[in-house]
Structures are given as C-alpha cells and as structure tokens.
Amino acid sequence: MRIVVISPESRDPREIPAMARFFDAGLERYHVRKPSWAAPDLEAWLIGLPEAWRPKIILHGHQPLVERLGLGGRHDRDGEPGDGSMPRAASRSCHDVPSLRRLLGEDGSILFGPVFPSISKPGYGPAADFPWYGLWALLKQRRRAGAADARVQARVLAIGGITAQRLSRCAEVGFDGAAVHGAVWGDPDPARAFARIRDEAARLEDARDAA
C-alpha cells in the first residue's frame, strides 16, 4: 500500500527535519498544502528545500510553481478543471463514487474521502451513509479491469482520519494506499508516527500479495 504524507497548513518547525526522515524512510510523495500562503512565500520556502526532494513534492495550489521549480506534480480539487496549458494533475481529490468511477481511467492518484472522522478537523468526517459497499464493488471491478488492461493506472488512496489501526479497513475495501495528515502531525514525533503507518502498510501489502 502506498502512503503519502500531507504537510501541515501553517509553519511548523518540525516539518523540514521530519521531511528528511520521511524521505530517508522511503516516502515517495509529499503533498504540500498551505492554503493561506501567498505564492512568493511558498516559492521561497520550496526553494529552501534540498533540490533532490522536489520531484517527490506534489503541490496544492499556486500551480505555476510546479514547472518553475521542477516539482513532482500538482494536486487538483474535486471538480477543479485546472489550467489547460499545464500537464495533467498528478493527483486529484474525490468525494463520491460516481465521480471516482469517471476518474479511474486517468493516470496518477485519486484521494478519496473523508473515509473516517478527521483527526485534525474535529466534526469533519464521512456521512452516516458512507458508501462502503459501492466503493468496495467499484474498486474490486477496477482490480479486475487492471488485471486485463495495463492502461488502468489510477491509484485510489483513502484520506480522512487515517491511522495505522485503520489501514486494515482500507485494505479490505480495496484502496491502494492512504494519505495521512493528522496521525503524523498530531504526534510529538511525526517521523515515528509515519514509520508506524508505513510498517503497517507494508505488512498489509505482503498479506495481499500472499493471498
């Protein structure tokens, strides 16, 4: 299962040291989401990071910085058309099964949720009638299609309230991985929290491969 980490929204002195440990531990994608930052502030912050990290960074907002700085790609919100002059989004948010069905043929990753009650945003979470069965059926159908057609490439990652303990439920439904935020930044040691989640994801992936 792929794990991606979403950044804290505001300045956090732990962030850059934690990023170094995330990448050393094998993190492939780090989502930078800082909605209150102006483009010049965000650009200056990104320029201050090691250049080797840039291909692993997915940017939420201020899309021109993606190409200017050689970042790994941009993230689009659900229903956001994006800029037609730019390459297709590396990842996209999605909140309902019909929209997910339309997006499955695209490249990149789809962040679907919220799946569980948010850790960082109290009161935000899935509806009482969250479509667990419809989601499971769609992801099962997608796996079958992918086995027969290599062009089915989109990864579907769970988002919202993800913890190491909840990853097993994500695996049962058929998610390819998860995006984590509150479980990492809410821990005094974000890198340690990420390691727990990464290790559980690897265990579940091994179990899936052995099944």
Q: 190-210 vs 15-24: helix axis angle to the nearest 10?
A: 30
Measure the CA–CA gap between 153 and 94, rounded to whole angstroms: 16
At residue 84, the pLDDT reads 46
Measure the CA–CA gap between 71 and 56, rounded to whole angstroms: 7
Q: Is the pLDDT of residue 90 over 70?
A: yes
Residue 142 · residue 135 · CB < 8 Å:
no
Question: What are the tokens at 123?
Answer: 């009161």
Name the percent of the chain lying above pLDDT 70.
Answer: 91
pTM for this structure? 0.91
Residue 99 · residue 73 · CB < 8 Å:
no
At residue 60, the pLDDT reads 96
Rounded mean pLDDT of the chain? 90
Q: What is the pLDDT of residues 166-208, one digit of tens each?
A: 999 999 999 999 999 999 999 999 999 999 999 999 999 998 8
DSSP 42: H
At residue 150, the pLDDT reads 53
